[in-house]
Amino acid sequence: MTREKKKQPEFRQITVMVLISLFQLICAAFVITREKEINENYIFIFFGYIAFEWLYMMFNVIITGNDYFELEAIAFFLSGIGLTVCATFSEAYAIKQLVAIGLGLIAYLAITLLIRDVRFAGMLRYPAAIGSLILLAINIALAKVTNGALNWIDFGLFSIQPSEIVKVAFVLVGAASLDRLLSNTSLTKYILFSLACVGFLFLMRDFGTALIFFFTFILIAYMRSGDIKTIAIICAGALLGAALIVAFKPYVANRFAAYRHIWENMDTIGYQQTRVLIYSSSGGLFGLGIGEGKLRNVFAASTDLVFGVICEEMGMITGIAVLIAFACIGIFAVKAAKSSASSFYAIAAVASAGMLIFQLSLNVFGITDLLPLTGVTLPFISRGGSSMICSWGLLAYIRAAGAPFKMPAPDVVISSKRKRGGRAA
């Protein structure tokens, strides 16, 4: 007598969307009724966003027959929180954030289509690598120092952060280069590309993003080789290089002088972290109310410190929900990588999820003084178009790993019996 295979629980799209929409309606009600006079523009912004989510889901189900909606639901939930926070600061912020979400979704769909074919995705790695280096070089040439870093190019009506866009290309180049490692040439080229990217970021004094790139490089290299010793040597070399930089460039160490000393300097270099800890804890489990917190008056409240604003105004329960949402993205990526038909998708999915979660960790642990404050944004939530587009773009790699439409070449199919040549996931 054979045992029946246990059926996997189905993702209930309607139920999840109803819950997300109810949460967003509550957030909208708080924002709309904050002022004495109701701002009709906020009604259009929030109800338009909710309607767009439902239209997107119904399009997937009815038109394409695609029942995969878990990742999009998580992204819409997180993006909705970011939209709410931006709306409490100003109507202009809310409109820009809404446009950024739309552009992010377009990037998500475009990347998903571009990497449907593994061979075509492999062909894209050279244009992506060259374009990334050119973009970073232009950044250094045109950008002006903003908050101590050269990471923004201002075009007047809008500005972009090239390093965020390069994150998407960095994963593509790494996954495509190491998909079929037939010689040391591909690995050498990717190492040189990675060193160039990190070098540009150090010249831009964007040390948080440089650390994210290095972590992603280590993750991709480990997935392809599975050699801990080699990874340890690379990390040791990186630490030595960092020590030399600190020795010859003292201003680098000054950027992290407040670490573990915030309470001794709570009115100077530790001002942001101490206020995050004080105000976020005062919100309790359910928060003080959307738009009613004090942390919003601190510099970078809608960008670097946005997690503290969420905890203070929406409560610790919402902050925990945000962390769980990112954990779900990581779990989905690992599961998708195990069943993906190509090592390209497996590497890209895990690298993208790792990049998002590592950036989340730098943001949350940085503002709470568990790690040095690096000034990186919170994916999907922090105000900023470049960050939003990057977050949705990285999500496309995770979706591609679990999507049923791709037709990889037979020679790149991952075999569960293969043990030689390193691990692919």
**114 and 120 in contact (C-beta within 8 Å)?**
yes
Q: Is residue 24 part of a domain?
A: yes
Q: Is residue 110 part of a domain?
A: yes
Q: Cα separation of 174 and 138, whole Å? A: 22
Q: Is residue 5 part of a domain?
A: no
Q: Tell me, what's the pLDDT at 409?
A: 41
Q: Is residue 28 part of a domain?
A: yes
Q: Tell me, what's the pLDDT at 72?
A: 92
Q: Which domain holds residue 319?
A: 13-412
Query: % helix / strand / coil in the chain, to the nearest 5?
Result: 70, 0, 30
Q: Cα separation of 279 and 296, whole Å? A: 10
Q: Tell me, what's the pLDDT at 144?
A: 75
Q: Is residue 192 part of a domain?
A: yes
Number of domains in the chain: 1
Q: Is residue 2 part of a domain?
A: no
Q: Cα separation of 94 and 49, whole Å? A: 11
Using 50 as the pLDDT threshold, list the residues of the chain that sit under it.
1-9, 182, 405-425
Ramachandran region, residue 291 (left: φ > 0; alpha: ψ -120 to 50; beta: rest):
left
**23 and 49 in contact (C-beta within 8 Å)?**
no
Q: Is residue 102 part of a domain?
A: yes
User: 3-state class of 159 per DSSP?
Assistant: strand
Q: Is residue 151 part of a domain?
A: yes
Any residues with CB less than 8 A from the CB of 127 and at least 6 apart, and which? none
Q: Tell me, what's the pLDDT at 195?
A: 86
- Condensed to tens digits (0 to 9), the pLDDT of residues 340-399 reads 878 889 999 999 999 999 999 999 999 998 988 888 999 999 999 999 999 999 999 999
Q: Tell me, what's the pLDDT at 390?
A: 95
Here the tokens at position 316 are 């610790």
Q: Tell me, what's the pLDDT at 21?
A: 94
